Structure formats: structure tokens, C-alpha cells
Structure 1
Amino acid sequence: MLHSPAPLRIALVSLHTSPAAEPGSGDAGGMNVVVRHQAEAMASLGHTVDILTRRSSFEAPGDQQLTPGVTLRFLDAGPAEPVAKGDHEAFIDEFRIRMAALGPYDLIHSHHWFSGMAALPLARQLGIPHVQSFHSIAADESTPLSWGERAESAGRMMGEAWLARESDAVVAISDAEAATVVERLGGEADRIAVVPPGVDGTLFRPAVEPSHGRGYAVVAARLQPLKGLDLAIEAIAAVPEPLRPELVIAGDASSDFDGYVEELRALAAGRGIGAGVRFVGPQPRTDLAALLRGARVVLIPSHSETFGLVALEGAASGVPVVAAASGGLREAVVNGETGLVVESRDPAAWAEAITRILADPGLARRLSLAARDRAEHFDWLRSAEGLLTVYAALLRPGPTSVRHTLARA
């Protein structure tokens, strides 16, 4: 990779959700995991990283050191309490004012569009590069991802297009996301770099002994319609009863999806598997790792995913993944080799894929071994080095193509 000549002072902006929050709780998800682990890996390489997030609790400290070289800073913008994700647009300007008092930084990297709208004007004022990561991109009625999605705030589509055009670089987590930035937002390909995530292969590891009997299937996600939990329930209900595993759902509903868990419980009861669906809430990372490696199969039925970090965590755990053919999931799961990718959202097609794995121990074993082998090529240090290659390209004098720079690294 191309290393910067000196340690960098980096600001990672995550306005609406703290990377220290437990994934699966509230609005915390894969983005939180990516931001925190990339920050810690960059710090291990000698860089100083501040993670900037909104204070959503009076109990939150001003600063919190997460690991040597990584400081989480809580900024006062809006009420010091949890609010619906879509309401954060109202706090952008105040958050920018609080950011301006911090630093100095060599570069600002924003995660999600709220963060970018706060940070890009400040970066321009300070004369430093601004990098944008989206993690999810708004869909209008004409796009195939709009079913299951909802508008999160009035200015999102215009804001994301502006960020894609005006940021010095856009870092995507998959080729699928990079293509969306170009096709939907008008971003320039030469300013888009793909930096895959990593996975902790020590924490997420295969079980010593494979699971036997019916066992359980796992879905780990924020509980919202976009994640397709209804399809998981319908699919498990359609698996032949002698093979049907319990369905364990790990995660919680955010404040703007009150009542969704009750809808899922009612669906399970209506399909006759109410007693076979267990909601365990958001899991600490160690508990999630244990839950995954004990599963017979991991299900990812999302309507859209920029990558699907849980697919990588399931793979590292040596568990076959059954995933929807959406977005970056086609890159996270190699169909027929590390898991099964289902093109249809028909529960019968999903039940067939799940049944294939449960009924054929040889297939399950082949998928498990290949999944773990592939996951070992993804680690957080490599992911951080990819980011630092992009940063170094932006900090060099003269024009550059971050995509070509990364390809040469």
C-alpha cells in the first residue's frame, strides 16, 4: 500500500449513531462495526483517530477513549436523548458548529449522509480533504430497491447526490455500492474506491463440533422492514417439519419502528411457528459470535445491503449463509461455494435452499469450509490499509484517481 509520510490525524464522523453502541440496538448496525474496527486498526498503524458522534444521552461523557489512539467524542446537537433516525437532518448545522471547535485534522471521513452534510462544508472551509461513505443510499420509486425502503428525510436524495459529486473521494464497501453511487447519484468512477470490510477471525470462529439435530437458524439485524424478517419467518415455516429449525432473531427495533416486533410475532403465530421463533434482542459481540457458530444456517433476507457484514461473520464462523440476491450480498456470499444466494423472494424458494443445507451434511460441510477459508482473506488491518491508501492519495499534491491508486496498492 501507499503509506502517508507521517502519522495522520483523522476525524471519522458518525452523526446519528455511536460506533460504541451495540450492533442491532436502535440504529446501530454494520456501519457501527466498520467505523470502530477501521478506526482501531488505523490507530494500531500509528495514526490518531477521533470518532465524532451526537450526544444522545445525558450520561454520555464528553470524550471516551476506545483504544490507544482512538477517541470517541460526543457532540451536543439536538436533545441529549435518542430520536428517530430520520429526524437527525435537523441537527446537521449545529453538529457542524461543534465540529469546528475540534481538531486540527488532516482529513475528515464521513459515514452516512447526515455526517457528510455536516462535514463537507467544514472541510472546504478548513482546506482539507473530505471522504464520504454512504452505507445505504436512498431509493426513489423507479429503483428496484424502493420496495421495503422508506424515505428517511426530505433532503436525503439531493444531499447524497451532492456529496457524491463534491467529496474528494467516496469509499464504497462493495462493487455493488460503487455502481449505485455512479448510476443513482452521478458520482465519478475515478473518485470512488472500494474498500471491503474485515472480520475478527479469532472472535468469529467455527465450533469445535458441528451442530446436530434440528438446531436453529439465525437472523442478526436491526428489526425493520428493510431487513426482510418477515421473509425469514415465512421461509422457516415452509421448511418440512421434520427438518425445521428454530428461528433465532437477534436485534432490536429502532424508535421509528415501534410495533414491528409485535407484527413479526403475529406473523409467526399465524404461520403456526410462534413457539419456534425466539427473539433474543441485540447481542454483545462475544455473544453474537457464540450464537452464530452454534447455528445450522445464517439467513440474510434483506431487501438491500451494501455488503452484508453478518454474512462475513457467519462465514468466519463456518456456518452456511443463505442470502438474498441484493446489492453487495452477491459479493459477500459466493453462490454454491460459501453459501446459497436466492434470486427470488418467494418463501418456498428460500425454504428449498434452507432444506438443501439441513438435509445434506456433506453440502453443509463443503459450504462451511469454503466460507471460513474465504473469510480469512478479510481482516480489519487490510481494510484499514485500504483506507489509508485512499487518504494518502488525497493528501499528495496534484490530481489523482483514488480508484487507480487503490488498484495499484
Structure 2
Amino acid sequence: MNVVVRHQAEALAGLGHSVTILTRRSAAKQPTTMQLLPGVTLEFLDAGPATALHKGDHEHWIEEFSTQLAARPPWDIVHSHHWFSGMAALPVARGWGVPHVQSFHSIAANDLTPLSAGERSESPGRMLGEAWLARESDSLVAISASEAATITGRLGGAAQRTVVVSPGVDSSMFSPRVPLDLAAPVDDRGYVLVAARLQPLKGIDLAIAAVAAVPAAIRPALLVAGAASADYDGYVDELRAIAERVGFADQLGLIGPQSRVDMTALFRGARLVLVPSHSETYGLVALEAAASGVPVIAAASGGLREAVADGVTGLVLESREPLVWAEAIAHLLTDPQRARQLSVAAREHALGLKWTRSAASLLEVYRGLLALGAHGGRQGPAKSPQDRRDVA
């Protein structure tokens, strides 16, 4: 989400527009405002303690954030990312008489449903809030057709107010090594890479079991880049225990969160990138790997079917059986010509997905709403979630 917000803002500024990004102050040292580049300003609003919080705790400070936002002069368009921001901003946008656009980036699922249905609701009001935002926002921007279907199907958002705006990728930052040679030296089997938050939804346990099942003579190491999620205490220990059980502990590297610059080097050096998530709204990691000229093996879940063209830019696997994944990994490791074909096609695909294209699609949404007037043609103040008896 942060990558999408930042790059779309920069691209909008490049097209001549002024963008302000507002977020909660999470450290006392953060200034009131920062100029990220000409046309893009980052502002920190005081809502709750100026410290990092568990994700679910942000719900307690939505009202305070909304009050701080309402004290600001109005913008032409208010675009909220994630449900916390939407709950705070939609009433303010209504008060200002300007359109409100909502992006979710992930949508909660009931705890009783399979992980393939989506992220768990870590905040008590999330499922009710997301449904309210889907019904009341003037436009709903989805990152993929898969997410759009969830917005209309699960949340009840109107199809005519839901639009897909695909992300872009920085193909200069994420670029292949030259020459593009994916075969590892005889004495170095290299590594395959997973980049994700460390939580069950991301399927890292499948990646460990799959790479461990690759024949020992060609088995690469597995590097996992990403922060441990505070909402799943003990999950890192679970991953280490899985690796111990399958005899893979010495080849598993849990390397923690990495900077964008460091990630470019990790992608470029990987022989393969695995995206085994149970659910993804799109799969930006797969697109960054494609731009880096590295084949992707992804689960057939959510937007990953759109991020990876099966058999063209990577492989999309319907099965979650580790042996099926191990076979696919081994096939690409031992067939450098096939891996290179996928890599070249992936890079070509990524070159066509620019952030300026993504920003231009957003502008079409904004201009359409402004042409309709306040609230995008919708009348009256937004009812609160508690007022809507038909919200599931």
C-alpha cells in the first residue's frame, strides 16, 4: 500500500497536480510537514500517542485523526487508503462537500473462512467499516479485478462506482542484472526469494516445505525478506520449527525487513521469486520481480492471476502441495533456457506498466467525480455504520 500511495502521488505531481499525503504521527521526531518532492507534501497528524502501534490499535484513534483532518482547509478530492483512513476521512469529505474515493488494498474476511478469502479482521470494527465505506464512498478504486469482485460481492459496493486502477513498477530501480543469466555457478546453487510480511496469510510455510523438497543436488537457499507481524506473535518461531522438521534450517534465511534499495539487489540476485500467498489483492512483489528479470512462481490466488501471466511471465500454481511447488522450482532451476524465456517476457511486461499510466487512470476517476459535483452525484451526508441496519 505504501509503495502504491507514494508512487501514484509522485506520478500525479509529475502530471502537474498537487498532492498531500496525510498520516498519523508515529514518532515524536517526525516533523509537522515534509516536502517529498515538488508537488508532493507529507503531513503528520496527531492522533493517539506518537509511537508505533499494533495495527489493530489504530481503530481507537480514528475519531481523533478525523478531527485533526477536519481542521485543515479542504482539498478538491479526498482519497483514502485502507479502512482506518476511510472511516476518518469520509465524514470530513462530506462536510467539505468534496468527493471521497476509497482504496482498500486488503479486505477482511471472517475468522471462520479459509485464508484464501483474505486478511483476518484484526480490528473489531473493520468488517462493518469496510462495508460502510463500500456503500457510502463516491468511488471505489481496486488494484485488481479480483479485488473489485470482492468489493462488489462481499462488501456490497456498487459495480458502477468500482473501478480497477492497476499499479505500476519502477523499471529503472528494479532492473535485471546484465547479462541476464539465471544459471548458478556449479559451486553455488544460489537462492530463491520470498518478500512478504511474516504472517500465515503469506504462505511462507509452503515456501519452506517446497524448497526443502527440491533434490539436494540442486537445492538453493531460501531467503525471506519481511518484518515479523506484531499481530502474529510466535509465527517466526513456527517458521523456524517447520524448517527444523524438514531438515532445512541451515538453508533458511529470515533476513528481516529490507530497504527498497536493498530489495532491488535481492531481486536481481535471486534465481526465482516465490509468492505463495493464500490471498493477494494484486501481488506487487511479483511485478517488481518481473521488472528485475526474475521468474516468479505464484499461487493461483486473488490478483496474482493478473500480476503473473501463467507460462508467459512466470508460473501460477493451482495446487498448494509442497511437492508440486518443488517440482516447478526444480524444473526452472535445471532449465535455464526456459527460465530466461520467462524472465525476458516478464521484463517486457513490466516495462509497459508505468506509474504515469496508473496515475492517469486515477485522474480519470477524479475528473469524473468532479464533473458530477459534490459527492460524485450522491446526495446527503453519509450515514454512520451504526445507522445502516443492512450492513453485514
TM-score normalised by length of structure 2: 0.92
Aligned letter for 2:266?
Answer: L
**Structure 2 CA distance for partners of 1:374 and 1:171, relative to 1, 3 Å:** same
Equivalent of residue 388 in structure 1, options 352, 363, 383: 363
**Structure 2 CA distance for partners of 1:255 and 1:144, relative to 1, 3 Å:** closer
| Stretches of 4+ aligned residues off by more than 6 angstroms | 398-401
Aligned letter for 2:265?
Answer: A
Equivalent residue for 1:204?
Answer: 174
SS of the residue 1:340 aligns to: strand
Equivalent of residue 78 in structure 1, options 35, 40, 48: 48
Equivalent residue for 1:358?
Answer: 333
Equivalent residue for 1:193?
Answer: 163
Residues of 2 paired with 1:335 and 1:247: CA distance?
A: 23
Aligned letter for 1:329?
Answer: L
**Structure 2 CA distance for partners of 1:48 and 1:147, relative to 1, 3 Å:** closer
Residues of 1 paired with 2:286 and 2:134: CA distance?
A: 27
Alignment of 1:136-151 (within 5 A): 136-140=106-110, 143-145=113-115, 149-151=119-121
Equivalent residue for 1:329?
Answer: 304
Mapped pair 1:65 → 2:40: no
Residues of 1 paired with 2:311 and 2:183: CA distance?
A: 22
Aligned letter for 1:94?
Answer: E
Residues of 2 paired with 1:140 and 1:115: CA distance?
A: 21
Alignment of 1:123-202 (within 5 A): 123-140=93-110, 143-145=113-115, 149-202=119-172
**5+ unaligned residues in a row in structure 1: which ranges?**
1-30, 402-409
Alignment of 1:11-30 (within 5 A): none
Mapped pair 1:51 → 2:21: yes
1:202 Cα offset (Å)? 0.6
Task: Give yes or no for contact 1:236–1:351 (8 Å, CA) kept in 2.
Answer: yes
Could you list the per-position Cα deviations for residues 338-393 of structure 1 after superposition, in whole angstroms to 9, with x for gaps in the alignment? 10011111111111111111111121011111111111110111111111110000
Mapped pair 1:313 → 2:288: yes
Residues of 2 paired with 1:181 and 1:144: CA distance?
A: 18
Equivalent of residue 64 in structure 2, options 84, 87, 94: 94
Aligned letter for 1:261?
Answer: V
Aligned letter for 1:250?
Answer: A
Task: Give yes or no for contact 2:99–2:376 (8 Å, CA) kept in 1.
Answer: no
SS of the residue 2:361 aligns to: helix
Equivalent residue for 1:367?
Answer: 342
Aligned letter for 2:308?
Answer: V
Task: Give yes or no for contact 1:218–1:298 (8 Å, CA) kept in 2.
Answer: yes
**Structure 2 CA distance for partners of 1:191 and 1:387, relative to 1, 3 Å:** same
Alignment of 1:232-251 (within 5 A): 232-251=207-226
1:144 Cα offset (Å)? 4.4
Equivalent residue for 2:196?
Answer: 221
1:400 Cα offset (Å)? 7.4
Mapped pair 1:379 → 2:354: yes
**Structure 2 CA distance for partners of 1:284 and 1:358, relative to 1, 3 Å:** same
Equivalent residue for 1:15?
Answer: none
Q: Percent identity?
A: 65
**5+ unaligned residues in a row in structure 2: which ranges?**
378-392
Task: Give yes or no for contact 1:149–1:225 (8 Å, CA) kept in 2.
Answer: no
Task: Give yes or no for contact 1:139–1:146 (8 Å, CA) kept in 2.
Answer: no
Residues of 1 paired with 2:101 and 2:108: CA distance?
A: 19
Residues of 1 paired with 2:307 and 2:145: CA distance?
A: 11
Mapped pair 1:271 → 2:246: yes
Residues of 1 paired with 2:350 and 2:270: CA distance?
A: 17
| Residues 209-218 or 240-249, more deviating | 209-218
SS of the residue 2:192 aligns to: strand
1:148 Cα offset (Å)? 7.8
1:262 Cα offset (Å)? 2.2
Residues of 1 paired with 2:135 and 2:62: CA distance?
A: 19
Residues of 2 paired with 1:291 and 1:391: CA distance?
A: 37
Equivalent residue for 2:386?
Answer: none
Aligned letter for 2:260?
Answer: R
SS of the residue 2:194 aligns to: strand
TM-score normalised by length of structure 1: 0.88
Residues of 2 paired with 1:285 and 1:84: CA distance?
A: 23
Could you list the per-position Cα deviations for residues 97-133 of structure 1 after superposition, in whole angstroms to 9, with x for gaps in the alignment? 0111223200100000111000011111110000000
Residues of 2 paired with 1:62 and 1:316: CA distance?
A: 35
Equivalent residue for 2:385?
Answer: none
Residues of 2 paired with 1:120 and 1:206: CA distance?
A: 42
Could you list the per-position Cα deviations for residues 281-331 of structure 1 after superposition, in whole angstroms to 9, with x for gaps in the alignment? 211111101110111100001111100000000001111000011100000
Task: Give yes or no for contact 2:297–2:316 (8 Å, CA) kept in 1.
Answer: yes
Equivalent residue for 2:272?
Answer: 297
Residues of 2 paired with 1:224 and 1:337: CA distance?
A: 29
